[in-house]
Structure 1
């Protein structure tokens, strides 16, 4: 299949007017954020704690894929580091990533939880982290961050054939706790953790839609992130306000980006 058949609708960058119409996306989003060229409006953003679960099902189906991962670990080098895959520098950076997530561990089914963390970080957490830093540096206020960690019966991944052996909320698992999904037929009692989570999510998001502030009607105050305090709301069987989302893992990535830009891994 061609790229057009696989993705019939994708975003494009349009630097000039197209047939007289106003340009919607006039540049790369990261550069627009750097320049502060975006609307400073109340904003909710976040991540699920095990986003990567739905992206490692091929490993479960075929153990030989572990060997492929080991042979080309630099596949997990973030694209925005602008390293040529397969180059000596990219391979060196990939080795550093492997060391952090797996240490001396053999890559097999026992390493699955670490692989889920890695895929979560590369595909989702890093983008969230970098965009938040840009937004905060542009003095954006009313910026609310969450981590959804409730692994319940309404999780969307349960109906998409994703791996369910590892704990945590996979990509899109939060959606059925906010939006109606008539294709899902599962019985949950009114006092179940699922219904409690659903009510909390609906309350938070409808509060925000009405006022730009998600707070009200719950026993926790969701504080917005600031330049000095990296608050986030962890959504699990209970709601809890925490700071420094995945602090250790993001500290690793911040250091790695800095080292790459300084040429520490240059081999070519």
Structure 2
């Protein structure tokens, strides 16, 4: 919806747990270019021109390229995304010729209904991987000052990463070292939730409110059922909450990854709620054109800086709220991160 090449091909957009403003969504420092050249050299490609790089890499087996991803990690598996979308300024036919915020502010984005949101503990896409391996937690405590900017993705966007690291350790960990405790697991999950997901979604919602005329529907999914993707992310011994992609369990058949899954009656009811909301939005641009026994409360568009959202907690608790994790969101806004 942001590119002039594709914006006329859609009538509405659903963006779950990520937007163009997510910290991992755009390359801010030519890191992708540097990593691409490094990748090309590893396959003995000429790097004299971009055309030579592209033509050479096109001939390389995709599996061999993915096998090399570990070469771009600077600390364990971080930075987690060595290749991010780039802005191609001044290039004819570029898919993204300017920053997404500039596109929205200029009125060039598609004027269509927009739905986005997060799960309450989206950050457990990453935190279980830390606690499932004691060596990673040990190394993280030892290397925290150097590792945190890479892990939390402000290594290339902060003017003062050491200051940011100190603030994060104080705010979330109370200056304590990480242990195998529920406090540490919850704190790390909150950091990933806030930096990887909440901040970018909130920025997108606010910009769409300010610079588009179409409704913006913001949701938070807070239902944890009989299964969770956190079981697959490295530490199945702890309840990390409602994890990244957990809403997909109720939109698509999860039996491929969870072959023994038998949905509870509440799981089935949540499936009916989510599929009804998503189908309504896809067909009409409004997730609740009517309220009924399945969807008893109206999902209203976000309209103000309070960022009103639809909280889907369980079958009996579906309602409008505002200012999701507001103190944590304001904390990240206070940091010197671009």
Task: Give the aligned partner of residue 319 of structure 2.
Answer: 240
Q: State the Cα deviation string for residues 46-104 of structure 1 (Å, max 9, x = none).
A: 011111212123322332323433333442565397236xxxx3112210111111113
* Structure 2 residue 214 is matched with structure 1 residue 137: no
- The answer to whether structure 1 residue 148 and structure 2 residue 225 are counterparts is no
- 2:164 corresponds to which residue? 93
For 1:28 and 1:172, the matched residues in 2 are separated by: 27
Cα distance 1:197–1:47, how it changes in 2: closer, same or farther (>3 A)?
same
Query: 1:58: which partner in 2?
Result: 129
In the other structure, the counterpart of 1:264 is: none
Q: CA deviation at 1:243?
A: 0.9
Contact 2:121 2:243 in 1 (8 A): yes
CA contact (8 A) 2:185 2:240 kept: no
Q: What is the CA-CA distance between 1:157 and the residue it aligns to?
A: 4.2
Q: 2:279 aligns with which of 195, 206, 209?
A: 206
2:134 is paired with a residue of what secondary structure?
coil
Q: 1: CA distance between counterparts of 2:215 and 2:222?
A: 22
**Residues 163, 141 of structure 1: alpha-carbon distance in 2 compared, 3 angstrom cutoff:** farther
Q: In the alignment, which of 183, 188, 210 is matched to residue 263 of structure 2?
A: 188
Q: Aligned-pair distance for 1:14?
A: 4.3
What is the RMSD of the two structures over their aligned residues, measured on CA atoms? 2.8
- CA–CA separation in structure 2 for the residues paired with 1:228 and 1:112: 31
2:196 equivalent in structure 1 = 123
Number of matched pairs: 247
1:122-165 per-residue CA deviation (whole Å, 9 max, x = no partner) reads: 1111111222222222144310111111111254444x344341
CA distance in 1, matches of 2:155, 2:104: 15
1:42 shift after superposition: 0.6
3-state SS of 1:168 partner: coil
Q: Distance in 2 between matches of 1:181 and 1:252?
A: 36
1:222 aligns with 2:299: yes
TM-score between both structures, scaled by the size of structure 2: 0.65
Whether contact under 8 Å (2:216, 2:301) holds in the other structure is yes
* 1:251 and 2:326 matched: no
Distance 1:109 1:30, change over 3 A: farther
Structure 2: distance between partners of 1:154 and 1:140: 39
Q: How big is the shift at 1:169?
A: 1.2
Instruction: Identify unmatched segments of 5+ residues in structure 2.
Output: 1-37, 41-61, 70-82
Q: Deviations over 1:16-49 (max 9, x none)?
A: 34xxxx5432233343234343112111100111
